[in-house]
Structure 1
Amino acid sequence: MPGKTQRISYLPSRKGSSYFKAPLISDVFPPRIWLLRKATGNRKFRERRVQPVAPWRRCTKGSRGGSGGRFLKKLNFTYRCNMGVKGLHSFVTNDCPGACTAANLKVVAEEHRSKYPGSTPVLVVDAMCCIRKWYTANSWVCGGQWREYLSVLDRFINTFKAAGIKLVFYFDGLVEPKKRSEWVRRRLDNGKEIAKIFRFIKTYKQQPGREMFFIPSGLATFARSALRTLGQETICSLREADYEVASYALHNNCMGILAEDTDYLIFDTAPYFSVKELHLDSLDTVMFSRQNLCSRLGLHPTDLPLLACILGTYIVPEKVMRRFRNQCVASYCAKSQGSNQRSSMILAVANYISSISRSYGSLIALAETLPLESDKSLLCSGIESYLLPGQQSPWLPCDFSHCSVASIEQEVPLCLDQEILQIAKEKFVRAESRAYAFMCSGEDECSNTLEDEDDTELPGQALIFLPARQHIYSLLLESAKDVNGTYPVVKEWFVYAGNSLKQPDLVQPKELPGGTPSLRSLWLSSGPETEKLRHWTFLACFQLQEIAEEIQALEASVAVVCCLLLYLFLQVDSLSLEDLNAFLAQTLCLEGKSAAQLANLQLDQVDSRGVQLGSLFIRGLALMIKANNTCGLPFKADDIMAWSVFDGNLFHMKYLQAHRGCSLHDLLEGNESWLAKFQDLMSLICKTCSARGRIIQSRQRLDSFVTERQGRGRGLSNIEPQSCIYSPRVPSPGFLPPVVTTIGQAFQGKR
């Protein structure tokens, strides 16, 4: 459970009784986070000594518990969709057949047009309930099949367009403080399932079956961008997404809501259709009937919010009403029993509600049965959270104020420039940028990605990108500095190995080299100088401002990849020349390949480290989108999209080839026109890294093989990818950085 945020001032040293100071996490884990690991010879000693703060410390096998993927299948099947009322979906599908009726969305649309002549039927889509359904690609562990994903979305949209149905997509805009504990629980559970995935990959050298499916990193981020790219109205909610979806559907006279969340049965809004049961070819699905549910339970629609609260919601936790539910079951004597204990309990609670007067007084009496330590206003707040604008409830007084639905706008914003804040808000609502939520709350978050906690070579992805995030934070909070020029501390909820998420990490924003420009100069100005400033600022976020001219000379999408690879290879010492060859070859070979061609690529095996690198690259792209938006769009949005620069299958194929020592001819698929580009990019990256003391070494990790095509092609046969085009002086073989006694000393002067 998330607790009160604390700063740890001192941590005990492993040797003797001395102490070393542990400042904010941004000081504990600065850019070259691998140096301490090199300098410390005894791994066990290192882990014990820095365990309180070291995120690369790996959990033991015994800490993950369970076997197989059974729990993951249950947990991940509907993604956010089980955030609704506890047990209601099972009851509706198993014990209330009248509440589940077959529906054809084409027919529903025609009926809507007949009822409202001249209007276009609108279906509101809760996108977070759909992103898993949209990802139909067979490959999901290698980083994502993004062109295939884009084509699936295009087909989805065109199917509804052909039926004359307009789609409006909603995405979650925030995690409410009251939902943080549930968010944390899910992240920790997901971590256990990711560990199972990697155990499977390392054992069988193959991708697990679909029952262990885990969404690729960045799926929600790129889904928002994809829908905008495809011309769809895409909205990011300023409050709970299901509340805004229900409100939009009601007040815009929409034909229905497409989702998988039982909260839409509780809201008094437009009809609710199942995305899980949707057959896209025919547009057949299931409609959940609010009226039939009420008939089965003997309740009025205005009673449903109270039913939801007693069963358990995110406002009224399930455990708070457990004793009362048991009392209802004990006193419930009826012939109509449910198919299981949970269903019988729902019928018992409904029977109780129907037996009391529908009034505020009855609710007050019910609130008195709550445990002594519970907030007596929970039931009022829970019911009110289901009331859409203009609606009233007989269970609440007429003058009850609408205040319980959390909203970003309720925050006291950290950004003090109101014009900039308004621009950020408009971009946020249009799902162009999520900066507004951060500028209001000062909190940032990121969920799980496919990274192996047992891999001690690769640091946590969240920590690899920490220095870049610190610079982005300084841009967004530039107007929030105090009189001493100090930034407010940022609270980060980021998943990485060893982080229990009991409290947020405290991160200090860091000025850009040479000073941090204001958002006014980046967002509101124009002209050549402004464009130059935007590019410089973007590169400075990734500490690449010194090579601005070289980067700007590249094709935009290639420049994006080059920036990301430079950042990664400067941050992560264990990345090898083979890794760089694979990334560059993937970038060049992606050109001209269709979604179908990429989907048909066959991998003879799956390598766990290659899986992590694919996920790492995509996570980096997501951060570059954030930086690009913050800096005023120095790059076109499409240039940073995953489908423009990355394909998981293709990268993994290149990774396997590079680490088996195949020729450059085969790595570049025999295309000699890509050779010069490959050499130029390799030279730029190696030269830049060398200038900062980072020598990219060769380290082949897989068994070598000789391909049939080796030696073909003019000018390629004798070039091996193990040779760095730029060859700076290599340090002496015995070189190691000096042994340090504190974490802070490991990074002094290391940039």
Structure 2
Amino acid sequence: VDGSSCIRHLYGDLEWIGGAQLKQYGEKAQHFVQAFANLGVRLVFFFDGPTAEKKRKTWVERRMSKLDSMYIVLDAISNGTPTHVIPKKHFHLPPGMGQLSRVIFKTVCHCEVYQSLTECDEEIADYARKNKVFAILGQDSDYVIMDTGNTLYLSIEHLNLRNMTTRLYDRWELARSLRIHPSQLPLLATFMGNDIITSQDLRPFHLNVIRQPVYNRNINFRILVPSIAMFVRTLPLDETQLFSILPDIAIRTLGHPSRDRDIITSLYSYKSHAIDHVREDIDRNDHWSRLVAEARYRHQTNELPSMVYAIMSGLPFESATSVEDFRKNDLPTFASATQPIRERIYGILLQEKPLPESGAHLVPEWCMAGPGSLDQANYVHAMPPASPHPGLLALWNEDKDERVVSVRWHLFVSSVSPNLDVSRVRSTVPSYLVIPTLILFNINELNCLNEWEVNAMLATASCIRYYDVAMLAALPSEPITARGVRVSNLIMR
């Protein structure tokens, strides 16, 4: 199961603007797994990891496009538009759904859950071939393009859990109907446009192959797809011969022979690369390499939050677009409000990494904070903990050593705010209120919330455990205010 596609399907029509309906979603997730179990089908979930750097440009463009969509939603709420009237095209998954889903499917539903090292489609295809799985369930055209062996590709968008029916996408039939070999489908996808080579880059080529005037802005895909397939049929099937003429192909499709590198990158993105979910044997003797290998294994097997392996392996921290209004300054941005926390977490994670010549670890970040914020990466200093910790392996493994547990608590609480009393938090705050209390303490230090807003959030955190799914579903979602939505979003993130 492609986890990202699954989350969107399962969340469905649940209210999203005011915040995630976590209990209702959890119940739907359990019902989803049980529906397949009733047919004797075992589900294995894969979730995306960090963004591949070759797709950063597309990632940024999508985050900026989503920002325009969020402004439309917030303006509609400010103008008194009921949430159910806001077009579904503006739907945006509430914060934390990926992390929550991984926990539910692994801990509650007892399914195998893996986190990818980048995007999960390659690892799903590789796992499918190795394990002779029955089918891939997702909603990504890459599964039609990639070689997944004899595995079926089923649509999650068209899945009906009541009668357990959906649509089958057949790569062999697609290739046959276009009169190309299945091995040429990556060429078709490349020249249609993807996350590496955009359709805008290919627009002159598209207009040329369908013989359409430049002034006609709309391209008919019913004409474009068979036209590109006709072009692909003229190319060699043999990979060696194909690569020898790639500069010429790049001139025709992208206007310059040097763009052949982009074509190669695109074609290789549809090849699966064997990735084993086992601990690596590290030949190097250095301690840090072994730590990174352990973090990689725990990342893949869903034992750590996704950011841990990313930061330890030198990849950037990412914060995407959410329901924030950067046109106003009554609330801090998520990126600025949490930067001190991130700095302290980076210091904990990188304490054992040898220092560079500069004498400090810098972590790249891509954090949406309004127009221009994603023009380039921002580099943040890792702040070492006030007193050194016993090492990540001890923190991860030692559950019964009270000394290590005490250090864990100190690192956890002090990373949120150095002004918190660790012993008081540990001894007096009920376990289910620890995280809400720490979050609200941190935000309250920024002097951006009204007292009644803090009280309302504390009351919600305290009372939610007494509401079952039916009671929550019966609660009205209106009226709602734009500030309330933004405050809720900041706290949930």
TM-score over 0.5 (shorter chain): yes
Matched, 1:615 2:481: no
* Equivalent position to 2:259, from 364, 375, 391: 375
Decide whether aligned partners of structure 1 residues 319 and 584 sit closer, same or farther in structure 2, where only a CA change above 3 A counts. closer
2:86 to 209, 218, 239: 209
What is the rounded CA distance, in whole Å, between the counterparts of 1:438 and 1:169 in structure 2? Answer: 23
How far apart are residue 340 of structure 1 and its match?
Answer: 7.0
Shift in Å, 1:127: 1.0
Aligned-pair distance for 1:210?
A: 4.9
TM-score, length-scaled by structure 2: 0.88
In 2, distance between residues paired with 1:356 and 1:140?
Answer: 47
Corresponding position of 1:292: 173
Instruction: Identify which of 69, 75, 83 aligns with 1:193.
Output: 69
Contact preservation (8 Å) 2:344, 2:383:
yes
Match of 2:49 in 1: 173
> What does residue 222 of structure 2 align with?
343
- TM superposition shift of 1:238: 1.7
Is the contact between residue 76 and residue 86 of structure 2 (CA under 8 Å) also seen in structure 1? no
User: Post-superposition shift, 1:603?
Assistant: 4.2
Q: Which amino acid aligns with 1:361?
A: Q
Aligned to 2:215: none
Is 1:478 matched up with 2:478?
no
Contact 2:246 2:260 in 1 (8 A): no
The correspondence for 2:17, drawn from 136, 141, 158, is 141
Of residues 453, 460, 463, the one that matches 2:326 is 453
| Aligned twin of 1:228 | 106
Residue 511 in 1 paired to residue 384 in 2? yes
Among residues 142, 155, 159, which one is paired with 1:274 in the alignment?
A: 155
Structure 1 516/303 Cα, relative in aligned 2: closer, same or farther at 3 Å?
Answer: same
Q: Which runs of 5+ in 1 are unaligned?
A: 1-124, 332-338, 391-401, 403-408, 620-751
Answer yes or no: is 1:557 the counterpart of 2:432.
yes
CA distance in 2, matches of 1:238, 1:457: 38
Tell me the secondary structure at the aligned position of residue 200 of structure 1. helix
Is the Cα–Cα contact under 8 Å of residues 136 and 149 in structure 1 kept in the other structure? no
Q: CA RMSD in A?
A: 2.6
Instruction: Give distance in 2, aligned partners of 1:416 and 1:439.
Output: 13
- Tell me the distance in 2 between the aligned counterparts of 1:138 and 1:240: 26
CA spacing shift, 1:483–1:127, aligned 2, 3 Å: closer
Superposed, 1:346-495 pairs within 5 Å as 346-359=225-238, 360-370=240-250, 371-372=255-256, 374-388=258-272, 417-433=288-304, 434=306, 435-482=308-355, 486-495=359-368
Distance 2:472 2:369 in 1: 31
Does residue 1:537 correspond to 2:411, yes or no?
yes
For the residue of structure 1 that corresponds to 2:292, the secondary structure is helix
Rounded to whole Å, the distance in 1 between the matches of 2:481 and 2:49 is: 35
Would you say the 8 A contact 1:481–1:487 is kept in 2?
no
Cα separation, 2, equivalents of 1:152 and 1:192? 30
8 A Cα contact 1:153 1:227, kept in partner? yes
Cα distance change, pair 449–382 in 1 and its aligned pair in 2 (3 A): closer
Q: What is the CA deviation profile of residues 392-422 of structure 1, one whole-angstrom value per residue up to 9, with x for unaligned ones?
A: xxxxxxxxxx9xxxxxx9xxx9x95233223
Structure 1 residue 598: deviation in Å? Answer: 0.7
| Offset of residue 596 of structure 1 | 1.4
Q: Is the 8 A contact 2:122 2:273 kept in 1?
A: no
1:498–1:307 distance in 2 versus 1, CA, 3 Å? closer
Distance in 1 of aligned mates of 2:190 and 2:438: 50
Residue by residue over 1:474-493, the C-alpha shift from the partner in whole angstroms, topping out at 9 and shown as x without a partner, is 01111224277933211110
- Structure 2 CA distance for partners of 1:289 and 1:531, relative to 1, 3 Å: same
- Residues 440-467 of structure 1 deviation map (CA, whole Å, 9 limit, x = unaligned): 1241001112122233210111110110
Is the 1:490–1:509 Cα contact (8 Å) retained in structure 2? yes
One-letter identity of the residue aligned with 1:217:
P
Structure 2 match to 1:309: 190
Q: 1:484 and 1:312 mapped to 2: Cα distance?
A: 42
Cα 1:291–1:369, aligned 2, differ >3 Å: closer, same or farther? Answer: closer
Work out the CA distance in 2 between the residues paired with 1:137 and 1:446.
Answer: 25
SS in 2 for 1:441: coil
Displacement after TM superposition at 1:551 (Å): 0.8
How far residue 181 of structure 1 moved from its aligned partner, in angstroms, is 0.6
Q: Which amino acid aligns with 1:329?
A: I
Q: Decide whether aligned partners of structure 1 residues 327 and 560 sit closer, same or farther in structure 2, where only a CA change above 3 A counts.
A: closer
Unaligned runs of 5+ in 2: 213-217
Q: TM-score, normalised by structure 1?
A: 0.59
Question: Is the 1:478–1:487 Cα contact (8 Å) retained in structure 2?
Answer: no
What does 1:39-58 align with in structure 2 at a 5 Å threshold?
Answer: none
Counterpart amino acid of residue 38 in structure 2: A
Superposed displacement of residue 439, structure 1: 0.7
Distance 1:214 1:363, change over 3 A: same
Partners of 1:247 and 1:389 within 8 A in 2: yes
Tell me the residue number matched to 1:261: 140
Residue 281 of structure 1 deviates from its aligned partner by: 1.0
1:314: how far off? Answer: 2.7
SS at match of 2:45: strand
SS of equivalent to 2:60: helix
Distance 1:200 1:328, change over 3 A: closer
Q: Distance in 2 between matches of 1:577 and 1:538?
A: 25
Give the superposition deviation at 1:584.
1.7
Distance 1:345 1:591, change over 3 A: closer
Aligned to 1:5: none
Quote the Cα distance in structure 1 between the aligned partners of 2:236 and 2:455: 73
Cα separation, partners in 2 of 1:494 and 1:577, compared to 1, 3 Å: same
Which of residues 219, 238, 243 in structure 1 aligns to 2:97? Answer: 219
Q: Give me the whole-angstrom Cα distance separating, in 2, the residues matched to 1:563 and 1:171.
A: 28
- CA–CA separation in structure 2 for the residues paired with 1:181 and 1:363: 25
CA distance in 1 between partners of 2:211 and 2:485 (Å): 52
Task: Please give the residue correspondences for 1:16-95 in structure 2 after superposition, counting only pairs within 5 Å.
Answer: none
Which among 501, 511, 520 is matched to residue 374 of structure 2?
A: 501
Using the alignment, how far apart are the partners of 1:263 and 1:592 within structure 2?
44
CA distance in 2, matches of 1:420, 1:607: 46
Higher helix share: 2
Q: Is the 8 A contact 2:73 2:86 kept in 1?
A: no
Distance 1:251 1:442, change over 3 A: closer
SS of 1:235's equivalent in the other structure is: strand
